[in-house]
Chain A
Amino acid sequence: MTLADKIVVALALALLPFLYIEFWGNSSQGEVVLIRSASNEDITLSLDQNKQLEIKGALGTSFIEIKDRQVRFVDSPCQGKQCIITGWLNKDGQLAACLPNGVTVQIIGRDQRFDAVNF
């Protein structure tokens, strides 16, 4: 490894914490939740409307709740209940999954096609 290579590597490493904090550290509040399941089409919902959903999966029905700009699994027909243990999601990118039932819930950012959404 030459000196310049070392400098490059050192600089890259030095840059890393800055990049991390700048781009991932300050995750903004999500606005849209994406619910995927094997048997249904993807569902995209806004987090600003409280809602209870029943999503049919491979084993049975997963119950999902949207409340106060958060979303969670309330119940799911799986063994480990990892999805329920995950609890409330409210940040961009957060994910909860009931893999046995094939249902995932993920918070995604705003719809980038629009500058604002009217409802």
Chain B
Amino acid sequence: MRQTVNVGCALRIIRAGGKRKANGAQCAPYIEFRAVTFFVVVFLALSGCEQRPLVYQQQVLALGTLVDISIYGVDEQQAAKAVTAVGNKMEAIHHDWHAWQPSRLTYINEQLAIGNSVSLNPEQQQVIQTGIELARQSNDLFNPAAGKLIALWGFHSDERPDTAPPAESDINALVTAAAKMSELTLDGNQLSSTNPEVMIDVGGYAKGYAVDQGIDTLRRMGINNAIINAGGDLRAIGNKGERPWRIGIRHPRQAGVIASLETHADESVFTSGDYERYFEYGGQRFHHIIDPRSGRPAQGTSSVTIIHKDASSADAAATAMFIAGPDQWRETARAMAVEEVMLIDTAGTIYMTEAMSQRLHIEIDEQIKTIIVP
């Protein structure tokens, strides 16, 4: 953004300079006048730059992805400081809740697996409690207790190699074990589990949680107009001066943007897609969103986009509705009290709630079968 504004100023300077020269060739006696005017024009052009509101934009590496932070309405120094704070906060969350590198979470899982209870600090309690609540709302379609399934499918690694999917018997054993968040009990600060097969994996809402914490960090620093976009999933607060923040939603199957929306005050926009992480084997593609009911990648959905207030809920809801699929997503949306949902199925048909249809501006010319579900 900043760059665009600056280039605009550069053009103004060049244009203004050119005009002076052209006039000067005809009016030689007014050299002093021309020189003075030149300075005035340059001064005005540059001071125009100073006063023009800027969006400070910076990317930081956190959560294993590029986090793009846009901040409006504060000076560059304050914005830069805020970006660093947000990056550090998000990176700390990533570190604490890493599912396969030794972390606080892997320690918790080890203890639960051998039947011990673990004491959690207030922040950890909050994360676990949020997970239990979101799983309950989604009727366990969103299931952070099913970490063993994710691990079995090989997604507990930075890059899943294109090797065979797990054996049927192993998948079925874990589906039968039916690890659920409701089997966890948080008594004071003590977390315990009644099912040794529970392995917590916060991957389905950790990004949302980190974005929420990032926004809290910004607010504490007095920043009320910003976007934190963590690898495509974002929360936007406030606005960009006189106008709202404009968000594009990328097409799940083609290049470019399929729809756009303007955020209102404080909203998160999260998408779960089958294109995010996957491996291919025997000519088939296996994506990373595992349906806890079948123990296999959820079928029928290509992507789900959610607009919701907080990012943690938006993140979990996108996963839950992806798994619920074209037939059951509406029910799940009601259960999770999420009103703005768009689901694109594997055939390319778009389903959305009435509320979502009022928010989206379709950005492609091609006619797509769109079903609005009341």
Contacts and interface: CB of A to CB of B under 8 A. Distances in A.
Contact of A114 (B3, B10, B260): B260
A36 to B, nearest CB: 13
B217 interface: no
29 contacts: A2-B28, A3-B31, A4-B34, A8-B20, A22-B6, A23-B7, A29-B59, A43-B255, A44-B256, A49-B275, A111-B257, A113-B246, A113-B260, A115-B240, A115-B245, A115-B246, A115-B247, A116-B227, A117-B232, A117-B248, A117-B249, A118-B232, A118-B249, A118-B270, A118-B271, A118-B305, A119-B252, A119-B271, A119-B273
Interface of A: 2-5, 7-8, 11-12, 15, 19, 22-23, 28-29, 43-46, 48-49, 109, 111-119
Please list the 6 inter-chain residue pairs (A to B) with the smallest Cβ-Cβ separation, ordered nearest first: A4-B31, A119-B250, A114-B248, A119-B232, A4-B35, A117-B248
B32 interface: yes
Contacts of A115: 1, 55, 70, 227, 236, 240, 245-247
A109 B3 CA distance: 10
How big is the B interface, by class?
A: 35 or more
B51 interface: no
A43 B256 CA distance: 9
Interface in B24-53: 24, 28, 31-32, 34-35, 38, 42
B255 A44 contact: yes
Nearest to B35: A4
A61 B245 CA distance: 41
Contacts of B68: 116
Contacts of B271: 118-119
A45 B257 contact: no
Contact of B24 (A5, A22, A113): A5
Contact of A116 (B20, B38, B245, B270): B245
A32 to B, nearest CB: 9
A12 B273 contact: no
Nearest to A29: B59
A17 B215 CA distance: 39
